[in-house]
Structures are given as C-alpha cells and as structure tokens.
Structure 1
Amino acid sequence: MNAQDTSAEPKPDLPLEIAHVLLIDVVGYSKLLVNEQIELLQELNQIVRGTECFRAAETKGKLIRVSTGDGMALLFFHSPEEPARCALEISRTLQGHPHIQLRMGVHSGPVNQVTDVNDKTNIAGSAQRVMDCGDAGHILLSKRVAEDLQQLSHWRPHLYDLGEYEMKHGVRVSIVNLFTAELGNSERPRSLSKAPEKADTALPAQTSSKKGRARLLIGIGIFFVIFSLIVLAIVALIFTPAILRSRQAALPIPVQEQERPSGASLPAPEKSIAVLPFENLSSDKENAYFTDGVQDEILTDLAKIADLKVISRTSVMQYKTGIARNLRDIGQQLGVAHLLEGSVQRAANRVRVNAQLIDARTDAHLWGQTYDRDLADVFAIQSEVAKAIADQLQAKLSPNEKAAIEKPPTTDVTAFDLYSRAKNLVLTTTFSAVNKQKLLQAVDLLSQALARDSFFFLAQCQLAYAHDQLYFLGIDSRRTSLSRISRLRRRVG
C-alpha cells in the first residue's frame, strides 16, 4: 500500500489522554556563555532525573520528556499532583544550587501521545503562557490545575490566586502562585504588576506578597487598626467637631488602598531589545537554517553586552516570519523597548543581510542597514550589526565585550553551515522515534563541522549537549554517553 492510498483511507479517532505539564525555564540563560549553558543544562538534567516524582513516573512508563533549548517540559499522566510535587522537589534541591535560577509553570489538558508533543497541541502553549508570567523561583499554575489541587486539603494553604490576565491574541489566563514557607517565590510577578482583569473567587484571593504567617499578622493588625479608629471616632464625636476633623485628617491610609496595584505595567528598560527571527529570502528554502544561524549569532553577540537586556531565543522564536506581527504588542509581551527585524538572502558565494532597529513603543524606525558581501564575510556582518545596535542604544561596550563580539565563531563557512543545521535539529528534538534520528543526525553534522575546524568552540559545546540529550532521552547508554561528554568537556576546557 503506498502513501497515497494510506492518506485516502479514513483515519480512526485517536485516543486522547489528560496530561499534566511541568514547563521549566532557566532564567538568564541567554546571558550565559555557551559552555556555561551546556554545563548548567547538564546539571539541571541530573537534578530533575533525581526527583522522586520523575523516577516514579519514568518507572511506570507514564512520562514524556521534551527539551526546550533553555529548559525542558515534563508531561505526567497520573495526577496534577505529580508536576506540582516535582516542581517543589526541584525547588528544594536548587537551594543547594543557587547559581541555577528557574521559573516553572504547570497546566493540564488533553494530549494525544501518538503525535509529537510539539505537534500543534495547545497544552504546552498554555503552560508556556502561565510560566512566562513568572520571575526566578516562581511556580505558577493554571486555574485548571489549581482547582484540582484545591480538592486536596494539604495543598490549599499553598495556593494563592493572582487573578485573571489577558495575554497576547486576547487569550485570558487565570494564574495561581504555588509556594510554601521555604519553597517557591511568594512575591507577585513583576509582569503582573497591573490589576487583574477579573478577580477570582474560586480560590481565596491573595494579593499580598507575605507568607501565610505574615498574612495572619497583617489581618490581626488591620482588625486592631479599625477598632482603634472606631474608638477614636466615637471619642471625637462626643467631645467636639474640631477633634473629629483633626482625627480624620490624621487617619492612616487604609491597608486595602496601600496594597492595591497601581493598574499600570512597569515601563520597559530603555536599553532592552529582542532579536526577532529573520526572514529567509533565499530561493532555496533549505537555507532557512542558515538564516536562523545568522539571527542567533547576532542575538548571542548582543547578549555578551552587560549593559543590555536581551530576550532569549526561546521567547522570540514564537514570532517566526510569515506570521503577521504587531510590533507594539510584541514589545509589550516581551517587556522590551526595542526590536530588531531582518532578512537573509544567500545565493552562491554571496549573502545579503538586512537589519532594522524599531522602537517598539512608537513603531518608529531608528536604524537600518543592508550588507551585500561575500559569504565568507557573514561573521563580520553579524558583529557589525551587534556593534551598531549597541551604539544606537548607547550601551556601554567594554574592551573585552568588543573583542568577544568581533571574534568569529569559526573561520570556516561550511563548518558554520553544518553547525547551524545541527543546532536547529537539536533545539527541535522531542521524545519520539523520529526525533531520535534527528538527534543522531545532528551529532553526525557536528562531527563533520569539527572535522573541518577542530577548534570550533560552539560546535564542541553543541555536540556535548547533543550527547547529553541522547542520554537524557534514554537513547544512549549512561556509560557511553558520559564517556563522550567527558572527552568533549576536556576539549572545551
């Protein structure tokens, strides 16, 4: 039976199963050096695999693990308690690893295990929207998960409703903060500083940032303040209207007013930028990976400048070209004042790179440049764009940062080609047989790149990461994988 015949046949409904997703994101990932990123993710993998919830679900065969580039997603299938417990376990372990800062999001929804986890199911997207609201240390839950956990008495003291908020594309999300006296982050996320669209009544509304004991003390304090005010008012009424007026003038601001959110979101830092995915204008659409590589290197160069706030690759890839972009909305969603757009066109041994700097607050065009050069000059173009952006944003650029930006990742364009293709494969790898082949193909491409340039540092790091993923996904044996990683790390060091 050929493929055409197969596609013509009616397909039976595929069974859906409720999955409980824990999405984990490394805060500040894009600011790390490449070898630091690799080592941190390896350490995080070991921490996650060491949790009791992870081992129990893996033993039962009821766990899907997905790498997300700067973190991971874990899909549990037994209970919403699993991702919540796992998040708290990870948070507890991280107390001994203060250099690892995470934010986590939890959501539940139907998913088909037969398809790839990233194959257009909205469950990961919902978890992403919840997690993106958090800061370092936060464990944020969707309303669906929180309502399930609220049915269990031991979870109730640790669930704090933050209200309902409108996200991009008009999607409304109710968010609940999970924390204990020792674990999680009790502070209100900075991105949720504005008043919620809708107050939530299904869970106790909690807007204070104090722990449970502190909230109790505040409640007692409010009671005594109100009681004292009533006594004072009565005394004032008994004696003279003048006393009443003086007392009213001296009344403290009510606690409710002090704690009320301002209703306005924090302004984006002036020296902040997101590098949006570049458009591939090459006639050969297979060059899309090369375009991604150029954009990624410009982003990486900008991230080397300490005076700039640069949004990570994972956060910006959702705005791939081909989708209508509202730059003001994107700037607000990412919390940046500036956006960099561009395109890459490659033909034979020539390359044309166009870059434009936009003020996301006003849609004003601040700077633009087209570079039409030999393909071998692509690395110089990347560093020139980064330095031009730093100059436009008046960012301080130290001699060491300038030298790091001007240093090309490799002098071999073909090696960079191979590396870019491999990195794209690694970053889109999920837990399935098809993606196992993608990961093995990436290892082969990176090996070819290193055969051409054995000092290609980024390729060495990416190869170490690929082998680490082979082990994490259970494709490679522990002994073989760790041996290869150890050899690569010695080369990198």
Structure 2
Amino acid sequence: MAQELPVRVERKLAAILAADVAGYSRLMHHDEEATHAKLAAVLTDAVTPAISAHGGRVVKNTGDGFLADFPSAVEAVRSALQFQNRIKELTSTDAKDERIALRVGINVGDVIVEPHDIFGDGVNIAARLESIAEPGGICISAAAYEHIQGKIAAGFIDMGELSLKNIDRPVRTYAVVPHELATATAGTRSWPNSILSPLSIVVLPLANLSGDPDQDYFVDGVTESLTTDLSRIRGSLVVARNTAFSYKGKSIDIRQVGRELTVRYVLEGSVQRGGNRFRVNVQLVDAQTGNHLWAERFDKPLADLLDMQDEIVSRLANTLNAQLIAAEAERAARSLHPTALDLYFQGMARWNKRWTLENMVQARDFFERALKLDPDHVEALVGIASIDMSIAGFLLSDNVDEHFVVAERALVKASLAPHYPPAHAFLGCLQLCTNRAAQGIAECEYALTLNPNLADAHAFIGVGKIHLGRAAEAEADINEAFRLSPRDEGAHRWMCWIGFGKFVLGADDDAVVWLRRGLKANPNYPIGHFQLAAALALIGKLDEARVAAKEGLALDPSFTIRRMKNNAFSDDPMFRAAGKRSIQGMRLAGLPEG
C-alpha cells in the first residue's frame, strides 16, 4: 500500500495589514446605529477602494476592524496612508469624540494561507503593532521598514525595540507619518505627536469596592497621596490629580489612557472593606502593551485609616520606584541609542543584582557613560558615589581612603541639586563611614525632610547610631526602613546591619540569626559572610564559621583581615572593641591575614 504523502501547508511571504477602530466599544455604547453606519461608510468610501487600488485583499473582517494582505510592503503602506487620509476627510466635521479613527499595524512575514484566513507570527505581530498605533496612525515593523525606506513619500519615526504582548522577542517599530509631522528620522526614539518621559505615569483613582460611599474619602486620599509621593521620584512625570480623576468611575482601555495622557505606565487598583479589615489591590501596567508588570495586595486591620493610608502609600512609592527602574532598565538594554537616563537605569539594574566587586565595576561603567552624555546627571553622580562608597565601606579594596574621597566629591556635587534626597542620604552615609557619624545622621535627617519615605535614610541613621556607640537604638531606625520598603533591594544589607549592631552589643547568637537572614535574602554580599564567620567562630561553631568564610572568599577572593585592622570607621570605644572581637573571630574562622 502506497504511503500517504503529508498534506502540504500553503505558505506565502506577504505584507500583513491589521486595523481596528480606536475606542469602538465607547462609540457603540454612545450610539450603536450611528457608529455602525459611520464605520460602514468609512469601509466603503475609504478602505476598500484603497486596498483594491494597491493590489491587496481583505482576508477577513473582525467586527470593528479587518485583516488584509498585500504582495508588496510598499503597496500596503501606500494603501494605509491613502485610506487614513481619506478617513480624516470624511470625519472632519464630526465631533472629536464621535469620529471613526483606525489604528493600523503592518508587518512582513511568512504566513500560513487558508481560503478565508491567514495565520502565523507575522499576523500576530501586525495585530500587536496595530494595538500601539495612534488613532489615525500607522505602525510598521522593522521587517516592513527594510522594504519601503526610500520608496514612500512619508516620514518614519523610530519608536525603538518594543516588547509586544505574547511576542517572545522585542520588535523594532516605526511610526509612519506625513513629512510635515515627522519631527524625527530613523534612529531616534521619539513618539509621533508625543515624547514619552521614561518614568511617565498616571495613578488612576482607586475603585471603592466596599459598597460604602462613606469610604470614598479614604480611597481618594490614597490615590492623591500616592500621586504626590511618586512625584518625588526624580525624573518622573506624574499626571496631576485633577486630570487623573477625570477617569473616575469610567470603564477604560489602559492603552487608550496611555495615548491620551502620553504616559508609559498606569497604576490602577481597588480598595475593599470587609468586616474589620481593608484590602487594597494595585497593579502597574505598561500603557503601550497593556502588560501587567507588577501587582501588590495589602490586607490591614481597620484601625486608624490615616495611618494605614500613610503606610500603603509609602510602601507603594518605594516599591514602585524599584519596579519602574527595573522596567526602564529592560527597555533601555534594547536601545541602540541610549540616553544618559537609559544608561543610569541599566547601571541601577546591575547594581541591584550582586554586591560583588565585579558587578559594581560593571554598574559603574554604565554610570560613567551616562556622565559622558550629561556631566551634571545627578542620579549617575550618586550612582558612582554609591559604588565607591560601598567598595570602601564593605572592604572590597585596599584603597579605602581613595574610594571615599572620590565618592565624597561626587556626592557634594550631587547634593547641590535642589530637592534630590538620595544625594543627601548617601552623603550622610559616607560621613558616618568616615568617622563623622553625628554629621552623617544630620544629613540623613535632612534627606528625610525632603522625602519622609526614603527608606535608606532611616537605615543609614541606624548604622550611624552603631558608630556612635548607641547600637541598642539602631534596630528601631532600621525597622522603620523595613516598614517603608519591606521588599527593598537593599533589605539584605539592613538585616546584616542589625546583625552587626547585635554583635557590637555582645549578643552574638542574635547577630548570627540576623546575619543569616540577610544572606538568605541575598547571598551575594561578601562582608555579610565574613561577619557571620566571625560571629559563628566566637560562639564556638568553628565548622560553620569556616564554611561562611569560604563562601565570602568565593565572592571576594582579595579580602584580608588586614583591611579590617586598617579601617576602623569610628573612634567610639564600643565600636572599636567590637572591631577587635570581629578580627579575632575572623582569624578563628580561617580568613587570610594579608
């Protein structure tokens, strides 16, 4: 019996055009019959003639849009420009909020062909490009752009490499605009009609799901306070409260909000009261793709509403700061033309991963490149200073004094920038590490007058008190940092600092507990391993101490006890006595003398 041949799948290379009506659900809700009639007229008078004239065919209609294919990318774009211009003419007399406007995405790809449909990645990418196009606009992929550049009477604005929903790889995207509107050429990262600030965000009014209108004041208060706190993030553009509240109670499309307000991120959520508890849910959404980037839930007893509001806002602001930086670092890594801010984000992402000398050097390189583009970039100045200060403070180098001098020079310059609290907080940290603890605490307290929710400043104050011989007070200050930012990237350091405070007080068993907590949170912290080794050795757990010592040396092979002896950091008798005990324990654990 002859073997049956497999059924051949028909494929072809095509230019795929996906289009839909912007705000279709809103238009239908407002007036179904009028919207239906207008869309039919647009398709008959503008779309169908343009597609036919350029050799395309409508593969299928999708209710509020359609899918078409063309044998040529040039003809697909020319067709889209033709019908978009015609639609503008046809709708010019309509009220702005009643106009039919199409969004169009075009891609070139190898697709599977069936009689009444086409399938494949090429189709999916076209559909995703359509979803991020401006109403009345056209977005095309780099694959399409390669075929049409120099052949179309239009401008092209490079939107960069974008992460599109359900598409594994970033897609380089261009907006097609008439020449008179093209304010940028290929190779820039501008958006048509709007330039997005990297940290642009709107806090939409949180929904009150409690069924109790009397709780509206609390819900609105959280929204307003969060808007204010996010505005403190330097470089952020936070949409004003009055504009954000215009969306209250409305059913919205996140991507439409992003386009209307020209923001990259949308924070939305709800508040619900049940019995004696409140639940607050929030999520951060990418306004370009609609992807959810992060979510958080707070369950709290109903006690003092205002205190609870303050805690929620402070925790959200600290967490969002880190989440936004992480998201922007990922975006910046795909940019062919990074700005100073892009490089800063990449440096921070590297800085947050591993507290080893190698990683710090890599992070520093990003900050230095940012400063070459912008010598007065305050965030990059603080970033470089933080690295030098950490290399010295965590004994990752023999040249401690040199690193402290370089760090202080950068921080003094950065602290001259008005209203940038981290510059003052890190300057304070440097001062307390260079035997000026009282001065350092005062500098951190000043940072907190600028931003009361700056968690690092509270933790630094705790460290300063250890350096002043007031270790018993340190835990309360560091716990305040945890309260404000419980999932902070620096939480492992804070735990280890509490551990060292316990060690200074002679509570070695407690010190071991806290040091282990810190290293569990982030094991890539060499000085934490060395201090744990010392504490374990002094309570007689020599085998465990030697293991801790080896783990620390795996991260920092250059560490020696000599570094500890040469850098006391404080003249306080209690602190210096703890330093001598630490050296004794490190010797017992087998760390090299140097």
Task: State the TM-score, normalizing by the size of structure 1.
Answer: 0.39
Q: Which structure is richer in relative contact order (CA contacts within 8 A, separation 6 or more)?
A: 1
**Larger helix share, 1 or 2:** 2
TM-score, normalisation: structure 2:
0.33
Q: Report the structure number with the largest CA radius of gyration.
A: 2
